[in-house]
Structure 1
Amino acid sequence: MVAEKITQCMKPHGAEGIETIKNMNENHKEISEFAFECVDVNENDKILDIGCGGGVNIEKFLKLTENNVDGLDYSEVSVNASIEQNRKAVDDDRCHIIQADVTDMPVYDEEYDLVSAFETIYFWPDIANTFKEVARIIKSDGKFMIAQGTDGNHPDDEKWLATVEGMSVYTADVLEEYLIAAGFRKVEVFKKENDYILVVIATK
């Protein structure tokens, strides 16, 4: 008998999706903290967090820049959670949460100084072309930061791939190849010491 795949990680939905987002906010804290240690944020940076989930990373970015910090997610549950997490910034027009697919974002070319993706690229389809779409919306010299809990060598990778619907895992080398092909000119790799947490920052 084949076990039923876990679907909430890919696209949180319904009451269970709300709980999934709460759990993600808690379980991804260490990954988020390491990523914020790796990236430089300027006070004028306009930022987009793709796969914004519960909006906790948007909240962190809002404290580091005086510009807008927006979020994008294709899950309605995630969009609503991000809005509520950042209600004041949304009301003040400093934060817009967009419900859309990362493969075709309703965003102008070269709109953002920094784009982030926390624990989400596992589920992006056609990642080569999706990275090109991300590059499109980033300004020249802007950055794209990927943060994930595995560097492709985590002992639980096979278990996750077998149980979580739509999941793929990438090593730093593979990500660098895709990012350079997508139009980024420089890729920096950060790995947390004695852990599998991986942060990749690509400069356009």
Structure 2
Amino acid sequence: MAEKITQCMKPHGEEGFETIKNMNENHRDISEFAFECIDVDENDKILDIGCGGGVNIEKFLKLTNNNVDGLDYSEVSVNASVNQNKKAVDDGRCHIVQADVTDMPIDDEEYDLVSAFETIYFWPDIANTFKEVARIVKSGGKFMIAQGTDGNHPDDELWLSTVEGMHVYTAPELEKYLIDAGFASAEIFKKENDYILVVIAEK
């Protein structure tokens, strides 16, 4: 049996840097569609969980005058995000921390918008992890999930069999987890003639 791919779950070492570069390139369509779906206010304070190479932090920084922070449990990803957004980090508009999404060192109701691009596949105990996300979202705030599969992609089985720690969720599954976690509603967006899925939950 072939060894499973581990870099997607937690980029590490020299290979991790290459993985992040590839993610930045390969996830561009997902990111572009997600930004079409979300309305960002100029005063929104934002957190990108699983921030990877920091390209989505960079996009958010152009849309808000407030802080855009990042969180990732890969040291390589944290360093890449800091480098990608060095001026904002130096100016104090961006703080990037290495931490686990299941237990984030963040105060309750801290953010207006929390995003997760191509990352929830690897979150453990998704029901309780979504509760942890709900904890840090302000009342009336939003949590946006963006992913390249809606659970019906023809390559889902291949990814599940080859990528370490990966789980794929359909829109109805995500909606139920989000409502159970304390969000009031969840809006579903699917890219036409594609499998790209964006779910925006409001607290």
Answer yes or no: same fold by TM over 0.5: yes
**Please, which runs of 5 or more residues in structure 1 have no aligned partner?**
none
Q: Deviations over 1:45-88 (max 9, x none)?
A: 00000000000000000000000000000000000000000000
Amino-acid identity (%): 86
Q: CA deviation at 1:129?
A: 0.1
Offset at 1:125? 0.1
**Size of the alignment, in residue pairs?**
203
Amino acid at match of 2:9: M
The alignment status of 1:151 with 2:167, answered yes or no, reads no
Aligned residue identity for 1:55:
G
Partner residue, 1:165 = 164
Partner of 1:70: 69
In structure 2, C-alpha distance between the alignment counterparts of 1:167 and 1:6, rounded to whole Å: 10
Shift of 1:128: 0.1
In structure 2, the residue matched to 1:122 is: 121
Query: Distance between the aligned counterparts of 1:187 and 1:126, measured in 2?
Result: 19
Normalization by structure 2: what TM-score?
1.00
What CA distance in whole angstroms lies between the structure 2 residues aligned with 1:158 and 1:135?
30
Which residue matches 1:37?
36
Alpha-carbon distance, 1:101 to partner: 0.1
SS of corresponding position for 1:89:
helix
In structure 1, what residue type is equivalent to 2:181?
A
- Report the residue type matching 1:29 in the other structure: R
Instruction: Give the structure 2 partner of residue 60 of structure 1.
Output: 59
Q: CA deviation at 1:199?
A: 0.1
TM-score when scaled to structure 1? 0.99
- Aligned equivalent of 1:22: 21
- Distance in structure 2 (CA, Å) of the matches to 1:49 and 1:98: 11
Residue 109 of structure 1: aligned partner: 108
Q: Once the 2 structures are TM-superposed, how far is the Cα of residue 154 of structure 1 from its aligned partner? A: 0.1
Cα shift at 1:196: 0.1
Cα offset, 1:124, TM superposition: 0.1
Q: Match of 2:193?
A: 194
Measure, in 2, the Cα distance between the counterparts of 1:12 and 1:97.
Answer: 16
2:121 alignment partner, SS class: helix
Runs of 4+ in 1 over 3 A off after TM superposition: none
RMSD of aligned residue pairs (Cα, Å): 0.2
Question: 1:12-51, CA deviations, whole angstroms, 9 ceiling, x for partnerless residues?
Answer: 0000000000000000000000000000000000000000
